[in-house]
Amino acid sequence: MKLHTTTTTMALLLLLLLASSSLQVAMAGSDFCDGKCKVRCSKASRHDDCLRYCGVCCASCNCVPSGTAGNKDECPCYRDMTTGQGTRKRPKCP
């Protein structure tokens, strides 16, 4: 019984360690994405929508093209993300 409790405790500690390191990586990326998306969306007419989609794309790609428009070839992952399927498929990232 003692071995089972020790094994369970070690597994829980390992899980907690992995979860906390993932959280730190996610939080570290948010400052990067927030800054890049703020620049990218600074001239957008729908500023809040631009920031939201840019943030989603940045979190997935770890990249945001420079400038306020265009330059998407700098970040192919960002460029190639789309919404919808079929004939309604559109670029997701601003």
78 has pLDDT over 70: yes
Count of CA atoms in the C-beta half-sphere (13 A) of 14: 6
pTM over 0.85: no
pLDDT tens digits, residue range 26-42?
A: 434 479 999 999 999 99
Percentage with pLDDT > 90 across the chain: 59
Model confidence at 88, in pLDDT bands (50, 70, 90)?
A: confident
Out of 31-40, 48-57, 82-91, least confident range? 82-91
Q: How far apart are CA 54 and CA 11, in angstroms?
A: 37
- For residue 89, what are the CA distances in angstroms to 49, 61, 86, 93? 18, 19, 6, 12
Q: Is 93 exposed, middle or buried (0-12, 13-18, 19+ CB in 10 A)?
A: buried
